[in-house]
Chains A and B, each alone.
Chain A
Amino acid sequence: MNYLFYLTAAIAVLSTTMVIFHRNAVHALLYLVTSLLAVAVIFYQYGAPLAAALEVIIYAGAIMVLIIFVIMMLNQGDSTVVQERAWLQPSTWVGPALLSALLLIQLILLVSSAPFSAVRAFHYIGPKQVGIALFSHYVLAVELASMLLLAGLVGAFHLARHRKPETGRSGNAN
């Protein structure tokens, strides 16, 4: 089973790397979906089937569909490959890549020096346990999350409206 973990981990890292370097937005998005699916597999391996399912349904499903809508609306894709190529010069990405690499090395150092318990046992936590915790101990947080989603809904509706500047009632609201 451990080989399966490393394989999926490798797929996740590789496809994520493709996301950040790819020039075509649609392709990049497909790589991102791949990466998310790989992570879902890893969730499953860690004994979290509910998380794996939600990862596939919400992340790889709903959110990615939202992004693809926007890509289509903004006419990204093949036509912008040239532009992306111009924007993604080595001089542009070397610095950020170095910074991130440094950060990663530090994290690895920290993790390797931390005294973890030798127990490699993992606990299977099914949807039932999660549901009990969610609607008993975290019920207030659930309400807050619903408020957040409502605010997101209203905010997105308001922000995305395409108003002509001269007919706008207030100049700064749209």
Chain B
Amino acid sequence: MQGLLAWVPLLPLIGFLILVGIPLFYRREPPESVITVIGVGSVGIAALFTAVATAAVFWQTPSGVVNIALWQWMQLGELKLGINFHVDWLTLVMLMIVTGVGFLIHLYSAGYMRKDPDFRRYFAYLNLFIFAMLTLVMADNLVLLYLGWEGVGLCSYLLIGFWYKDPVNGTAACKAFIVTRIGDTAMAIGLFLLFYEFSTLNIPELINAAGDPGADREIITIATLLLLGGAVGKSAQLPLQTWLPDAMAGPTPVSALIHAATMVTAGVYLIARMHPLYTLSETAMTAVAIVGALTLLLAGFSAIAQSDIKRVLAYSTISQIGYMFLALGVGAWSGAIFHLMTHAFFKALLFLSAGSVILSLHHEQNIFRMGGLYRKIPFTFLCFTIGCASLAALPLTSGFYSKDQILLRAWEFHQGFNSLWLAGVLGALITGIYTFRVLFLVFAGSEGAASRHCKDANTPAMTIPLAILAILALLGGLLTPPLQAVFGTTAERHPAAWVEGVAIAMPLIGLGVAWQLYRREKKTGEQRSRVTQFWFSGWGFDWLYDHLLVRPFNMLARLNHNDMIDALYKGTAAFSRQLNTLLSASQNGQVRWYLATFAAGSILFLALLVAL
């Protein structure tokens, strides 16, 4: 049974290899049905294996741990690294999300991407992504995790720039790649530091070593902050959040899979995986919490001002991951993972239904040109509404349970009223506002310019995943994962009833505000006040980085256009050439001239003799 788990990451890899290798064996492009079977099937079987392994091994034993050693990867002095997998319930939750939600999104993609000329390439990338993500979550050492970490980064780059013929998409892909690279560099330094201090990068051993009372707390603080840097880059948190809204240039199912459900939550997974180290450092915990709180507020405000349906969802993703970081920062580890799970359900649902809307409107993404769609695509409307309700954490939806847990934990962690809790509650209100703003602008009110041409583009391959995700988004709150063995149990304390009441009320207030403001929004245009313009641009971070980093760098590059260092070598060459010209002038082919110089040389030599 444990062997099945080793096959979970290998199956998508095999799928990827087959899809890439097809041109080696067949001249003609295979039909879409074959590609679908390979691409979707590999992930489907992986999901099946995960489910079977869960049922057989873990269901009755919440503390079960499975270690699978595949082979030795490298051995350098003290450093021993293997392609070894470590599976516990935390991994298992991630596995189920990645394979389960991944499978649904693959299935949806088969419908969404139909008739795309690069159908095969798309599924090859997608399978490679699933493989890399599974490697990331199953790795038992940080280097293998880093391999998966970079692998998903690569796939993210490839898929954002999937329609590479439009330069804008390529730029967005590069931006995502470069910005996350900043975080990855910090993370790599963190790994070096950890190895330097503890002589191991195996995660369980590392946690044991760090738990030793003699371990250097300052080193742990610095290392955890560096790892946080990596997580911030990958999960699009402040200050490296700018790439995610642009990453929406990729196909919508990609946005659902990579930039909402799985990859961007890798940072959350990393911190949860390394949580024993973080608990040792109060500074790191505070930093995580503050990053989360600030990000969820900034991204929430930005989401209110957006006009592109996918960008709204992108900012909401940033904001929700901010919630997860907030949860991590206040020690609500299982709350963070729980929210990660429910977020994967409802955000995938939202993106996929947004994809259906976009496809039905012939690739229109501007919400001000939509409206009144609830009559034309009722099934999509239903799914989107469920997703919105869950995102806004309306009571009894899955998002409500997870977010409620986080807010309570934030209240408890600092023994009462505190700024982190306040940020969370304010964020809940904003979430309500921007969520229902989108819902009303797209589906309610009068018809927009694009709505008139609406034609339901859903196929069975798209409706089935939507339906399953809708059910999960509604009822996922009941599936509390048994993570006590991983994170330890916390004493249940019940704060005052009004605290709970506030948490429940906030989304409803947000709903009310949105109803008042946007129910009958005129679809005239995009006149924005100065504040909303500022929010629209994502609090000017792009402008700031452009002026702070990009332009000075470009200026330096322009200054050094002719390569100053190279000038030295070019100068040497030019000098030699000058000398050559000079000396070759003396080489004039005249024998008598040579003779004369010879005589003159003799005279000089003899002159020396005479003078001495």
Count residues on chain B whose CB falls below 8 Å from chain A CBs: 10
Stretch at the interface among A18-26, A74-82, A102-110, A162-170: A102-110
Cβ–Cβ contact B600 & A107, under 8 A: no
B residues whose Cβ falls under 8 Å from a Cβ of A:
592, 596, 599-600, 602-603, 606-607, 609-610
Question: Contact check: which of A95, A103, A110, A113 meets B602 at CB < 8 Å?
Answer: A103
Cβ–Cβ contact B603 & A110, under 8 A: no
Q: How far is the CA of A110 from the CA of B609 in the complex (A)?
A: 8
Cβ–Cβ contact A95 & B596, under 8 A: yes
A102 nearest CB neighbor, chain B only: B603
The 6 sampled A-B contact pairs (Cβ below 8 Å) are A96-B599, A99-B599, A100-B599, A103-B606, A106-B603, A106-B610
Interface of B is mostly: helix
Cβ–Cβ contact B609 & A99, under 8 A: no
CB distance from A132 to the nearest CB of B (A): 36
Q: How far is the CA of A102 from the CA of B599 in the complex (A)?
A: 10
- Chain A residues with Cβ below 8 Å from B600 are 99
- Chain A residues with Cβ below 8 Å from B603 are 99, 102-103, 106
Cβ–Cβ contact B596 & A110, under 8 A: no
Question: Contact check: which of A96, A99, A100, A109 meets B610 at CB < 8 Å?
Answer: A109
CB distance from B106 to the nearest CB of A (A): 75
CB distance from A105 to the nearest CB of B (A): 9
A106 nearest CB neighbor, chain B only: B606
Cβ–Cβ contact A103 & B599, under 8 A: yes
Give per-residue flags for A104-147: 1 if the beta carbon is below 8 A from chain B beta carbons, else 0: 00110110010000000000000000000000000000000000
Question: Contact check: which of A100, A110, A113 meets B606 at CB < 8 Å?
Answer: A110
Q: How far is the CA of A106 from the CA of B11 in the complex (A)?
A: 96
CB distance from A44 to the nearest CB of B (A): 31
Interface centre among A96, A100, A106, A107 (most CB of B within 10 A): A106
Question: Contact check: which of A95, A96, A99, A106 meets B607 at CB < 8 Å?
Answer: A106
- Chain B residues with Cβ below 8 Å from A96 are 592, 596, 599
Q: How far is the CA of A99 from the CA of B603 in the complex (A)?
A: 8
Q: How far is the CA of A102 from the CA of B603 in the complex (A)?
A: 7
Q: How far is the CA of A110 from the CA of B596 in the complex (A)?
A: 22
- Chain B residues with Cβ below 8 Å from A109 are 610
CB distance from A162 to the nearest CB of B (A): 23
Q: How far is the CA of A96 from the CA of B595 in the complex (A)?
A: 10
- Chain A residues with Cβ below 8 Å from B610 are 106, 109-110, 113
A110-B610, A113-B610 known; 20 new pairs, CB 8 Å cut-off, are: A95-B596, A96-B592, A96-B596, A96-B599, A99-B596, A99-B599, A99-B600, A99-B603, A100-B599, A102-B603, A103-B599, A103-B602, A103-B606, A106-B603, A106-B606, A106-B609, A107-B606, A109-B610, A110-B606, A110-B609
